[in-house]
Chain A
Amino acid sequence: MLGDEAVADAAEAARRHAENRIIDTSSGQDDGLNKCPSCGSAEIQYSLTAKALVCSYCRHTWNEENAEQAFGLDSSIADLRGHVMASGTADVREDLTTITLKCQGCGAEVVINVDQDLQARCHWCRQTLSVNSQIPNGAIPDAVLPFQLTREEAIERIDAFTAKRRAFAHRRFKEEYVPDNVMGVYIPYLVVDGNLHTVLQGTGEVTTRQYTVTRGSGDNKRTETYYDADVYGIQRAFDLLVDDLTIESAERFNAQDNEQATNNILNAVQPYDTENAVIYNSNYLKNFTSERRDLNVRDVDDDVENHFLAIARAKALPTTSRYDRGVRWEREGVAVRGTRWVAVYVPVWLYSYADSATGKNSLVHYIAVNGRNGNTMGSVPVSHPKIFAVSCAAGTVAAVIGAIVGFSQFLF
């Protein structure tokens, strides 16, 4: 027998479920041959010179449609209610590791490991077979932001970045630096729109008087400055419409965790023009590597709420300019009226270097180039003895100058 409480809980759960709306972003194609719309060949790859998919047989070039427009993901954020989720953000199933692709050319069945690959060649008729359906293992996003920057352009930027950081770089890094190891990687992000109402409460102070007081006499005479202030209890309540907030959705690239790798570097090369992402097509990923999404919406929603609050606090700053002594926010909250979630692959040119070949203490240093706008950031391992020597020399010079200035004041 269910109690009233359980019934109420179920009703609440049903209401919430009804508020979750899924937008189907799948291509509708079966797995197997992914054909050129012009000649029907399956030999297609993304060309960085054409910045488009190119058919190897008929040279037809095209790009998939803009995902936001095609799936109506660009509707007004102010009208968002409940949670709208594109189907590519569905919960990840870890047990889905292999699937069987049936070749529509010859009827053969090819098993592929979808943890590693999304394409395979039919071993009988040699045609390329692709995973075209949205299998729920996190490897198929709703949309892809294709590379704009060529590999050569990325290598130039990485070379320029490291050239400025050679003097104090670790010797082994300089010896082993091979920019040809730069790889094109698609990194999974969840892109979130939010319709929110936020409330911030705190205390602010306004200076009412500034005055100096003279203390002591003779050699001990000194002046001290004091400030009088009025204290205000302050509150700001406002609506926020957040467009395209990006959140890392692969655990290993978590921007807050820099223990094993310098993930903050990948975070720092943002922003990405995610509004230009196109509908997923496995041929965009050919010749690049891609990281599987392993975080679900519910794994990152606390993080997203914290991001919403940080944005609210940043937006509140100009409204508190009269509080010249500052504001201490003490309470904050956000009511989420509606959100929209889309899984997008973004392009990064990545050079990675492990500062120690073995052991748990090894740290992977990244030098990353945003594959869209060329933003470059990196971490170069340093030689501590060299920095120590230069800092000691500078400290000694400063101490000597300080001694001359100090003693001259003391003596005269």
Chain B
Amino acid sequence: MSATRIDDRIVRVDAMEKARGEAEYVCDIRFPGMVYGTLVRSTVARGKILSIDVPALPEGYSFITADDIPAEGRNELWMIAKDWRCFASGDVRYVGETIGILCGPDRGMLSYLKKHIAISYEEETPAVTIDEALALKGGPIAGEDNIMCSLYCEKGPKMDDVFRQADSIFEETLETGFQEHVHLETNSAIVRQEDGRFTFYISAQCPFYVRKSVSGLLGLRPEDIVVKQTTTGGAFGGKEHFPDVLAGPLLVACNKIHKPIKMVFDREEDMLYSVKRHPSKVVFRTALDKEGGILGIDGKIYYNCGAYLSASYVVLQRGVFHANGVYDFPATHLEGYGVATNTFPSDAFRGFGAPQTLFAIEMHLDHIARKFGYDPAEYKARYFLRKGGETVTNGHIVEDVKLPEMLEQIATASDYYRKAKEYGIGSGRGIGISFYNHGGAFTGNGEQAIIKAHARLVKEGSRVRIEVGSTEMGQGFQTTLRKIAANALGISISQIDYPNPDTSRVPDSGPTAASRSTMVVGKIVEDCAREMKERWDEGDFSVEKEYVHPEGHPWDQDTFRGDAYLGYGWGACIVEVEVDRLTNEVRTVGIWSSHDIGKAIDELVVHGQVNGGIIQSLGYASMEKMENRDGRFRQSSMSDYVVPTSMDFPSQEWFLVDNPYQWGPQGAKGMGELVFNGADAAYVDAVERALGVTVVKIPIPPEDIEEAIENAR
């Protein structure tokens, strides 16, 4: 067996078993005596529960509610904040809120019983949109003003002074909608007791999050609960915290009935009753000089958090920190507000708050550039951040910024400058461009202060086992991490094992989120592997290491000042479209991207991430419309909530620039979210140019383009 090197292009280690259908998912697993669980949910967006009438349950069936949480437990799911209740009790705050879990052996009978549980409510007026919540429609949901969390950051001279010097002011409001994850495998979990401990088999990104979140329901410690991640068929953030919403009721029920319980959402449940990307509203007010140069940007950022804070404050922080995009403006003041509404709580989704503000700043600059007659690419390039440049949190960019080189790459490949001039505004053809970045890993010193990740390598004979809590969810981490280890050990990737994590056996390497796995966990594994290689002849042994925080990254989590991120991935994207003037259908004729991810650990994995991330972003911009009326999502299937097919965005030309990152394995930085963060704005820019319209809200399916055309008249 020859040693695997980083630059070898290899077939993903999990490709065959998944392609053959051999991989075992939660829905494939059965245990003796296992029963099924189904959630009984609120059908109103806001109200008091007056009564719950449960029909006489046949033998072997039970209905479990908040009343079944033992005295030593607390009715809360711990997802950064602890406000999300496991079971609604007394009142309900959104459609789909869990009221109880019905358990029993036959799923047909469960469905029948579920239809016969009668819950009566005293309904109240819900606030569903950001505007409704800010207007306190129906009275406040959270606090006195529905603002669940807020922060600001600023740099440069005071805004009042900046605006006093302005020749003109450009103000606009930019909005983004809900987005559904549409992971191929729906949410699912099994709980049972094994050797006296509650044990989960669960489709999840973060097994250690699950045990931390639910253990308090029974007054237990996290380590009293075992979480075994099962092969996970996609997540995109939708299985970061949300599995807790399944695991909580399952745990309380298992504590009551002492049988294995399995719960698998069907697609409709997974669409209607799961977390979504935060809808956003960004108001930019920009002070301009006579030539349209930017003196300063004042931004107000609102995220629709839904009924519970849960992880939203951190999402909002990332949104605010990315709200000046890849640019160094002389002055900025950014305020972020997390707004409580009566919708299903919003939560993690690839990009984690960054895509919304990046979209807003990109469109805003496009609109200013067009107003003053500049090419958006040239206009934006004036403000590119450079090494040493100041970020919005008064930190500094510590790496070389390769954006000029990346712009050159994609502009040449796409023939951007010629096309931008030749295709007139409103000609039906358009080419658009965007730039974006993504701060790798947890914000500030979170990796050091909060996570303190551990990773372990175990040598048994000539084989080496990776023990981490990090998960494969389709993104390719099984391949990436094994490759890092094999490369550092100088052995073949086929000698490395990396079982799905079991929290009772592996150290906590932190959540598989925040584009941190390759950059942070990969580095710890690489360090372990280096030591193991030196001691290779010692026989069987293990090496465990803790994360070491790079020096020189000051951060104050109370004031949000300093280096918000250890390093950034950078991206540039060009999209070319032709719009059918009869139907407003947009045909994408070209997509060009360039990314700086430090170093690609596996080019095939990276290729998949680039293609997938860009297509997901283009879907977000063009067709993925999730509407919520009166607190109810209107799209409930994959035929009415459409995600792109390969016919919609058939080909991409992609580039990487080499820019090794000092603290990453082999120079790698995070990239899983970066590739989602910007193609949307390039697409919308292209459509705007093709039609001579201004778009301030995505998505823009043909019927919304119709509206933009009418508005332009």
Is the A/B pair a real complex? no
Residues of A within 8 A of B (CB): none
Residues of B within 8 A of A (CB): none
